Structure 1
């Protein structure tokens, strides 16, 4: 077996003319492919691939540069490998496509030709290799007997149509791949992929929620093609066609008030020639013609700012989050509606809500994450919706190197003693976040995901690697939410540049929906210095910054110094249009000073300072833009 180091993911590749991966014939204009195995060691980080044999066959791996798999087959026996079940992708979109194919690069170094090669998938690996339960034969592809001519190193390719897969169910989530040959041989494999290709491509170039107003698409085709038909098939099955000229293989279409059926699935497709050949029809784009009731509430990143949706009244405008931390059942007993009312009364628009993925804040038994989502997180999200507030989901747990069970109250006395164990990174952190994102991927009242509270005592490049892995894992299930990341040194502004300088503007490509956060407690760092660090990073990389945690450390400073620090940092936020979350609410009462018995260390003190700033700075909840009257809809 061999190990990888980041979350397994389906790899979607788009190839234009001349792109690799075409088994034979002219190159397609567009290729959608998912790699199932490649010699690149980091293709499927975070998972484990186990070599398996069947009925006398064996499997091993060798490394001559890129890793290759060697399978020794026998009469009726073969070999392959299996993957961690929940990490292997579903192959539905390739199975259902007439152009879907399985492609394999292989060779037989002992010159014993296989005669033919059969590939089989399996969904339940518990019986693979078991003498009691043979490998399921009805998940096999037809035997491939035709191969491309070998290259100088003997590598050949074969491909098999996926549409011919014999399967007992509509969906195929494979956990194992096995190879069988007609003649016993040694088969060496270096790449497997599933793909579908087209002679014409189509991409959406507008917000899906705005497609009902202006549908904007672009695409490419063969240079010799002069015309392309853009076809909308509405939710009732009616087709409408708009023809566009093609120049040098490129075309674009703006369809004003397109005929989309509200509340139903519509498809948009580009067709060249007569479309009888499936390759001459682009992969359809699905659109819902209805603006959801809350579509106008979605926020996203644009340059240095968070902006409102084009569907909001006034269109895209800068949105400044201002809010507080609500540490439910840790700093303050739960009172969800009371907290939300307090926020509205104090001119706030956002709640930063800590939750946990492995252990509760005080340690003890492991969390049942599904129950934690249902009983701890979701009631707060629903309360925020009732009161018209956004929520930042803040993963507030601490994983402290070898001491992965560290808790917040002891974190500052614990230094990292080494990198996190892989189980912590993948199973508890990344996979946990993926489950949370799956729950809230369609919830616009969730402003964003703050991936980790405060990294510390790791090298900047290690922190960057951890954050990037988690971000990419979440993007497999949620491409829409803002993701919030910090720096390596307790999330202080001074650590942003060291952590993110190489990749700040591109770490979330192509979504580019990341906000960089800091946590500050002046006068530990003076407001002017925090301003210098934050604005320099923001302006250099053209990315938004926010302070998702700050407060008044009056337990360590004089009253005068603390009040000056609070006033100074809030003035800086206002001057620079930087959103903020004050830490943390401890009771539903105002605390203008620190002498009235509030919890010493965590308190939302100085309510004579921050609410007036919130009233001036905080953006209002976006309102829905009025939809054009029916007489504004245009005929095409």
Structure 2
């Protein structure tokens, strides 16, 4: 191991190692690996649905061959070495509860999930990189969107004690597994919670903290804010933070994720420059600054386009955010490391076997606006405009949690109604694929077969070595 990693703890506004040295976490998220997301690997809808359809089309042997290879090749030794070469010192590892437990056998934990996680934690540690363990998809779904493996628009996790009990049970097992592993910086137990009442979340966090501390009193907890880690009002009744805890904000700047054409410039009628981006950051991190606890931005970063000439202003936005975080002493984890070309530092090559098979459907997704993340609804305004008009007339005050009417309609129409038949077509492309061919398709995500977004890498390398 090039660097002997030490256990981190919270000391005032800093994370410190066992020698008392401040450690600023600077890293990436490993999205799309143990928690698949549609824009990362190109499928429509949510992970459970596409896996079920792929199993139906491919059969068990080819299905297992594909996912065994995918889970190995998506992140391996060469990936860890590449991140270390950039100066990255931490990786947030998102995972889906389904790797550890089946819904038909609740509370019966599966060793293979822990083994997969162990492999990457160990790989990263060999290259001097900390891991942050992130439960990204919870049973019952903790938010209203696809990235919690939600096939609906309802977050049932907050309504049923059964789901909460299973998450506590899983984290007790994870804490027991990693309590003596200093290369794990800490536990991020609920990604982007979205509790409509704001009342269940604080009580659940306190319950979870007690359960984890009973097993592992030493590791740091990274607790996300409500409303997709942007809102900390649920802590107003708790002026004192939990011990050895970092409260984490997600800080996607609007120009980077909306259909902006320039930065600095106007996005959705508002002018954005560095000062506006900084004000958003300050608003989202007010609780941390008020309580004198460390600041860690668990997700942020612009989406890019296939036209690399459009990268320049997006990279300027990224540079501004990195500069703001440095000035305010914030750690960060850029979203995301690897994908098919939207946000990743590296991505599957356009001429890879995988994209040769599904690329036409990825283009169809874009045309139909099925992914709202980084996508456009321009091609289906003929559907959405009449719906918006009807709501203007009949339900003008309708503003459902968490983001209001138009994003709500986008989930129902784009991510559910249109995604369901498109997922069937996506899975059809894999019908009759042999086990050996399945392995070749998955190998499209191997590091030596991916392309690098060089400009993005240079921004990170320059910042981290500056």
More moved, 587-596 vs 414-423: 587-596
Does the C-alpha gap of structure 1 residues 554 and 378 become closer, same or farther in structure 2, counting only changes over 3 Å?
A: same
Aligned to 1:436: 174
Aligned to 1:386: 126
Aligned to 1:155: none
Does the C-alpha gap of structure 1 residues 388 and 417 become closer, same or farther in structure 2, counting only changes over 3 Å?
A: closer
Q: In the TM superposition, what is the alpha-carbon distance from 1:459 to its structure 2 partner?
A: 2.5
For 1:515-567, what per-residue CA distance to the aligned partner results, in whole angstroms no more than 9, with x for missing partners?
01112221259521233124532221111120111121346997565334322
Aligned to 2:464: 614
- TM-score (normalised: structure 2): 0.57
Aligned to 2:52: none
Aligned to 2:296: 546
Aligned to 2:10: 301
Aligned to 1:480: 218
Q: How many Å separate the matches in 2 of 1:385 and 1:561?
A: 34
SS class of match (2:131): strand
The answer to whether the 8 Å contact 1:522/1:562 transfers is no
For 1:432-474, what per-residue CA distance to the aligned partner results, in whole angstroms no more than 9, with x for missing partners?
0000000110110000000111111422232111222111110
Q: How many Å separate the matches in 1 of 2:326 and 2:143?
A: 38
Correspondences of 1:363-402 after superposition (within 5 Å): 369-400=109-140
The answer to whether the 8 Å contact 1:551/1:604 transfers is no
Aligned to 2:252: 521
Q: 1:342 aligns with which of 70, 77, 82?
A: 82
Q: In the TM superposition, what is the alpha-carbon distance from 1:482 to its structure 2 partner?
A: 0.2
SS class of match (2:228): coil
Q: In the TM superposition, what is the alpha-carbon distance from 1:593 to its structure 2 partner?
A: 11
Which of the pair has more CA radius of gyration?
Answer: 1
Q: How many Å separate the matches in 1 of 2:202 and 2:250?
A: 17
- CA RMSD, aligned part only? 3.9
Correspondences of 1:284-295 after superposition (within 5 Å): none
Q: How many Å separate the matches in 1 of 2:22 and 2:180?
A: 22
Q: How many Å separate the matches in 1 of 2:175 and 2:229?
A: 23
Aligned to 1:574: 326
Q: How many Å separate the matches in 2 of 1:418 and 1:580?
A: 27
Q: In the TM superposition, what is the alpha-carbon distance from 1:489 to its structure 2 partner?
A: 0.7
Does the C-alpha gap of structure 1 residues 370 and 301 become closer, same or farther in structure 2, counting only changes over 3 Å?
A: same
The answer to whether the 8 Å contact 1:584/1:604 transfers is no
Gaps of 5+ in 2: 41-69, 257-275, 356-361, 367-372, 375-450
How many residues are aligned here? 309
Correspondences of 1:308-347 after superposition (within 5 Å): 308-309=17-18, 312=19, 316-327=20-31, 328=33, 330=36, 331=40, 333-347=73-87
Q: How many Å separate the matches in 1 of 2:12 and 2:280?
A: 21
- Which structure shows the higher strand fraction? 1
Q: 1:500 aligns with which of 229, 232, 235?
A: 235
Q: How many Å separate the matches in 2 of 1:354 and 1:375?
A: 15
Does the C-alpha gap of structure 1 residues 354 and 366 become closer, same or farther in structure 2, counting only changes over 3 Å?
A: farther
Q: How many Å separate the matches in 1 of 2:102 and 2:336?
A: 17
Q: How many Å separate the matches in 1 of 2:294 and 2:224?
A: 12
The answer to whether the 8 Å contact 1:460/1:487 transfers is no
The answer to whether the 8 Å contact 2:338/2:345 transfers is no
For 1:115-138, what per-residue CA distance to the aligned partner results, in whole angstroms no more than 9, with x for missing partners?
xxxxxxxxxxxxxxxxxxxxxxxx
Aligned to 1:563: 315
Gaps of 5+ in 1: 1-293, 617-636
- Which structure shows the higher helix fraction? 2
- TM-score (normalised: structure 1): 0.43
